[in-house]
Chains A and B, each alone.
Chain A
Amino acid sequence: MNNRLYGNLIFELSHEGRRGYSLPRNKFSQYEVPAELRRKEDAQLPECDELTVVRHYTNLSQNNFGVDSGFYPLGSCTMKYNPKINEEMAALPEFQNLHPLQPATTTEGAQAAIVMLEKMLCALTGLAHFTFKPYAGAHGELTGLMVIDNYHRSRQDMQRKKVIVPDSAHGTNPASAAVCGLEILEVKSGADGLVDLEDLRRLCSECGDCIAAMMMTNPNTLGLFERQIPEIAKLIHGCGGLMYYDGANLNPMLGACRPGDMGFDVMHINLHKTFSTPHGGGGPGSGPVGVREGLQQFFPKVSPYHGNFAVMLRALAYILTLGRDHVKEVGPLATLNANYIKESLKDVYELPIDGLCCHEFVFDGLKEKSTGVTTMDVAKRLLDYGYHAPTIYFPLLFHESLMVEPTENESLETLDGFISVMRRIAEEAKADPDVVKSAPHQTPIGRVDDVLAAKHPIVTYKQLLNDKD
């Protein structure tokens, strides 16, 4: 690590007898937990003073990279700026102190906030109702599929258990379908990267009355708008299925096209993508699910209360801030930024499908393949230059996928900086391939041994100590 001392685990900084907390004087010492209820040994947690804890985690944070640190063109993740005012609003004690089960008459402000956000999401998507219970995108997918399954069950249409997904779909789609007890049918992509309508027609005619839904993102994972969407929706509706919109790629549609108008019946939104709530190193997110009128009675109870309420407040602050005059600029600017990078690099990186993209696009590695420099190497070398890497090896349609999503918040200078570094890496790959293949060099740690971690899993401090013996 760059800072040896703080490369320690908090357990390694512990000294018996140190304290990092204070409690009021005990007024109820007459009550003690009886011995027969108690655990035999204390949990072996560290003992540290307050400053040690503060320094430890501050230094850990410095071994991390966030949107606030620099450009984060991670495809399919929409790493946009997370406005500070959102954080402040979510932390207001008037909201933070509310118990989820306190009487409705005492939480009118919180309920009004939820209703307000629901109305806004309806306006932005063209759907009629939202549930906020899902905690994340994957949870939203599952919830949306449950809505669809419940709908078919209510009609005694019990054999509808197949969900069509494009072969370019994210792995979460099939996994969510499986958790919902549904099966996947894959529809092929054509040479243009779009759903192959012929293949879809075949699936519809072969097993039309088993089709529960078609699940897709639009634009798809290649960043391409599925322009045959009205026809796709017609086909699926024609055989009794519903259309599910995976909101992972909703961002470029703000100001351009609404899922409801495309013909979708059910969708989820990742508030942590499109509506600027922070990703937090992998959560908490929020995955509200929207439906057409008439499907809201099928919302399942996938969590106990009101969802990730504090995340919803952030999204509300964001939409209020942008308002109807600026929210429609989000999609076009994100789309412009992506196309600008694509056009500026496609002479040195392989662009498998040319043409306009939406918010993101996919390169199939370097154009010059003879150097042996892979997408992984390019990604790692980018870290040396102070950029987060794009998404790599997804989608699975290409061997060397490198998926770039810049978002609307990035300036021309930032994009130009990234472009020049990407070009420089392409040059390095030819002139000095080893420096790219062995990257990163400037980061706190170098490439890690994934195989060792999986073969011999050490996932707790106790295991780590035992391993040393």
Chain B
Amino acid sequence: MYKYFPHTEADLKAMLEKVGCKSLDDLYAQIPEDIRFRGDYDIPLSASEQEVRQAFQLLGSKNHQLVCFAGMGAYDHYTPSVIPHLLSRSEFLTSYTPYQAEISQGTLHYIFEYQSMMAELTGMDVSNASMYDGATATAEAMMMAVAAGKKVNKVLVSGCLNPNTFDVLKTYALHQGIELEVLPIREGSTSLDDVKARLAEGGVAGVIVQQPNVYGIVEDFTGFADACHEQKALLVVDSVAADLAVLKTPGEWGADIAVGDGQSLGIPLSFGGPYVGYMCCTEKLIRKMPGRIVGKTVDNRGQRAFVLTLQAREQHIRRQKATSNICSNQSLMALFVTIYMALMGREGVKEAAERSYAAAHYLCDELQKTGRFQLVYQKPFFNEFYVKYDGDVDTLYQRFVQAGILGGIRLDEGILFAVTEKRTKEEIDNLIKVAAL
């Protein structure tokens, strides 16, 4: 007996008798003896709860707790206390995908709210129930664009896309037989002329751009959607969710598909996951969208109810003809950002984004004032910016770490700093002091 196994000796005896076996070993009579595992697994002996905790504390103590000025897809925004409390409600935490709608209204209801909020944030018509993360959501958008196109398999990708996202796109594209073409970087942005020229060559299913782009720059996508639509290509805009509270939306740019990571809506960094990907699109494309979708309906008592819908797109019905192999969403993390947006509300999401913008601009100005940092591109940026340092970056980086600061991310020859509303003036001033040494 062990704490997770309730079987007493008497239980075992009675149950084995019922199933006609003499021992637990007999239950596996079908397994050929030469492949039975009879030894001991090479793992440690069981640990008490206290010992587990000690083991994790020991591991945890080997990580440095740094004040985060890093971004590049993962941002250190503030998490309201309410969220982890509600997320740990075990009716949410320990449930499966809401197949049985009658006892899953909690999950279905919040997914409907999530879809509504993401559609609002992105300015799009509809949203799915969430995806794994921003990079895979972008890969799904790439495949969706190719599937929606007629016998075209080329996708244009902005050179200012996060290289980590691009790597994931390349992986999916290789196996899907999709041809990726990278658009050149023009002064830290994507150029409409390049897009038009490549589209004119024909065979393009979609164009993927990022907002703000990997350099933190807020790009101007005027004319992109028209150019795409003239050539029957789809425009995919990959955005940092939190920034859309303020920035012109993918919907306003005329995007057909809006994707990105929702991590910036208060989700802890957690060394890279779990986060939540989002995907929204125009009403016209809803039946081509991958992933779960929750819709409103009624029950047989005439009450409003929510249910998984449009399942004819999905793998358990369509098998190899499905729109994607995805058979879940990132439900609990969708709940996370739903509660975040419910708490922050219309004003709060804006205020957090504006504060992040302001703090980043303060840091950028002050760093440039030291005379040692120079913005690489003179373009509007949001809460992340790309600078060159005139000294040895290794030494600088080391100095940051010694001062307990995660001083941005090194990207090519420069450094990418990100600031959120969570960073205090003292923390920012401390970084500037260490940087100026």
Q: Do A and B assemble together?
A: yes
Interface 1/0 per residue, B302-337 and A, CB below 8 Å: 011101011110011111111011111111110100
Q: Is the CB of B333 within 8 A of A283?
A: yes
Candidates A85, A339, A464; contact of B27 at CB < 8 Å: A339
Question: CB-nearest residue of chain B relative to A394?
Answer: B316
**Does B88 touch A at the CB level, under 8 Å?**
yes
CB distance from A113 to the nearest CB of B (A): 5
- Tell me how far the C-beta of A231 lies from the nearest C-beta in chain B, rounded to whole angstroms: 10
Chain A residues with CB below 8 A from B11, complex form: 411-412
Pick from A10, A64, A172, A340: contact of B103, CB under 8 Å: A64
Which residue on chain A has the smallest CB distance to residue B421?
A: A23
B-binding segment of A99-107, A237-245, A289-297, A420-428: A99-107
- Is A216 in contact with chain B by the CB < 8 A criterion? no
Is the CB of A94 closer than 8 A to any CB of chain B?
yes
B44 touches A320 (CB 8 A): yes
Interface status of A196 (Cβ within 8 A of chain B): no
Q: Complex formed: what's the CA distance from A464 to B98 in Å?
A: 21
A90 to chain B, nearest CB (A): 8
Contact B28 A335 (CB under 8 A): yes
Give residues 21-73 of B contacting A (CB, 8 Å): 21, 24-25, 27-32, 34-37, 40-47, 49, 51-53, 55-66, 68, 70, 72-73
Q: Is the CB of B380 within 8 A of A97?
A: no
Most A CB within 10 A of own CB, among B311, B358, B409: B358
Given known A-B contacts A64-B107, A279-B95, A448 and B348 have beta carbons under 8 A apart: no
Residues of chain A contacted by B60 (CB below 8 angstroms): 92, 94-95, 109
Say whether B109 contacts A60, CB under 8 Å: yes
Provide the A306-318 mask, 1 if CB < 8 A to any CB of B, else 0. 1111110100010
Residues of B within 8 A of A302 (CB): 136, 168, 171-172
User: Whole-angstrom distance from the CB of B138 to the nearest CB of chain A?
Assistant: 11
The answer on a CB contact under 8 Å between A172 and B2 is no
Q: How far is the CB of A94 from chain B (nearest CB, A)?
A: 3
Given the complex of chains A and B, what is the CA–CA distance between A276 and B165 in angstroms? 30
B32 contacts A42, CB within 8 Å?
no
Q: What are the residues of chain B within 8 A of A110 when measuring CB–CB?
A: 59, 63, 271
Classify chain A's interface size.
35 or more
User: What 1/0 mask marks residues of chain B from 214 to 248 whose CB sits below 8 Å from any chain A CB?
Assistant: 00001000000000000000000000000011111
Check if A100 sits within 8 Å of B126, measured CB to CB: no
User: What separation, in Å, do the CA atoms of A387 and B412 have in the docked complex?
Assistant: 56
A324 within 8 A of B: yes
Say whether B152 faces chain A, with CB atoms less than 8 Å apart. no
Bitwise, A182-193 to B at CB < 8 A (1) or not (0) is 011000000000
Complex: how many Å from CA A343 to CA B110? 40
Looking at the complex, which one of A39, A58, A123, A313 makes contact with B244 (CB distance below 8 Å)? A39
Contact indicator B92/A447 (Cβ below 8 Å)? no
User: Once the chains bind, are A101 and B70 in contact (CB under 8 Å)?
Assistant: yes
Given known A19-B345, A109-B63, contact A408–B132 (CB-CB < 8 A): no
Kindly list chain A residues whose C-beta atoms are within 8 Å of the C-beta of B51: 320
A311 to B132, CA, bound (A): 13
Q: Tell me the complex Cα distance, A225–B32, Å.
A: 10
* Cross-chain contact A28 with B358 (CB below 8 angstroms): yes
Residues in A whose Cβ lies below 8 Å from that of B249:
39
Q: Does the CB pair A63–B346 fall under 8 Å?
A: no
Establish whether residues A279 and B94, one from each chain, have CB atoms under 8 Å apart when the complex forms.
yes
Question: A127 → chain B, closest Cβ, in Å?
Answer: 13
Evaluate contact between B352 and A181: CB separation under 8 angstroms. Answer: no
Q: A412 near B325 (CB under 8 angstroms)?
A: no
Asked if A66 and B91 make an inter-chain contact with CB atoms under 8 angstroms apart, the answer reads yes
Cβ-based interface call for B430 (8 A): no
Q: How far is the CA of A452 from the CA of B64 in the complex (A)?
A: 54
Determine whether the beta carbon of A333 is less than 8 Å from that of B273: no
CA distance A123 to B125 in the complex (A): 49
- Pair A457/B332 contact, Cβ less than 8 Å: no
Chain A residue nearest to B143 (CB atoms) is A179
- Cβ-defined contact, A256 with B31, below 8 A: yes
B61, B92, B133, B348: the one within 8 Å of A281 (CB): B92
Chain A residues 39-70 with CB under 8 Å of chain B are 39-40, 42-48, 50, 53-54, 56-58, 60-69
Cα of A142 to Cα of B349 in the assembled complex, Å: 36
Q: Is the CB of B299 within 8 A of A325?
A: no
Known: A66-B92, A283-B328. A179 touches B136 (CB 8 A): no
Which of the listed residues B74, B273, B304, B324 has the most CB atoms from chain A within 10 Å of its own CB? B273
Instruction: From the candidates B31, B85, B244, name the one contacting A225 in the complex (CB within 8 A).
Output: B31
- Considering the complex, which residues of chain A in the window 422-465 have a beta carbon less than 8 Å from any beta carbon of chain B? 438, 440, 443-450, 452-454, 457-464
Minimal Cβ-Cβ distance residue in B for A45: B346
A126 vs B362: C-alpha distance when bound (angstroms): 54
**Given A44-B120, A172-B327, A102 and B380 touching (CB < 8 A)?**
no
CB distance from A251 to the nearest CB of B (A): 13
Q: Report chain B residues within 8 Å CB of A389.
A: 100
Known: A61-B92, A68-B94, A124-B43. A20 touches B272 (CB 8 A): no
Q: What's the minimum C-beta distance from B38 to chain A, rounded to whole angstroms?
A: 10
Point out which of B29, B53, B80, B95 has the most chain A C-beta atoms below 10 A from its C-beta.
B95
How far apart are B134's CB and chain A's nearest CB, in angstroms?
A: 8
Residue B86, interface by CB 8 Å: yes
Say yes or no for B16: interface residue by CB 8 A criterion.
Answer: yes
Residue numbers in B under 8 Å from A43 (CB-CB): 117, 120-121, 123, 244-245, 346, 349
Contact with A along B283-314 (1 / 0, CB 8 A): 00010000011111111110111010111100
B41 touches A123 (CB 8 A): yes
Interface status of B434 (Cβ within 8 A of chain A): no
| B101 surroundings in chain A (CB, below 8 A) | 445, 448
B113 touches A284 (CB 8 A): no
Contact A10 B305 (CB under 8 A): no
Give Cα distance in the complex from A180 to B175, angstroms.
5
Q: Are B102 and A99 in contact (CB under 8 A)?
A: no
Least CB separation from B130: chain A residue: A283
CA gap between A110 and B224 in the complex, in Å: 42
Counting CB contacts under 8 A, is A171 at the interface? Answer: yes
Add 6 more A-B contacts to A23-B348, A457-B293 (CB < 8 A): A28-B425, A33-B246, A68-B91, A108-B62, A284-B274, A324-B45
Q: Would you give 30 A-B contacts (Cβ < 8 Å), ordered by A?
A: A7-B304, A14-B345, A21-B80, A26-B355, A33-B354, A44-B120, A44-B346, A45-B121, A47-B346, A64-B92, A69-B91, A82-B93, A103-B397, A108-B63, A109-B63, A110-B271, A135-B136, A174-B319, A174-B320, A179-B324, A257-B28, A279-B94, A284-B332, A302-B136, A304-B135, A320-B47, A337-B15, A383-B100, A446-B301, A459-B295
Q: Which 6 A-B pairs rank lowest in CB-CB distance, beginning with the nearest?
A: A305-B272, A94-B60, A323-B46, A280-B332, A100-B272, A64-B106
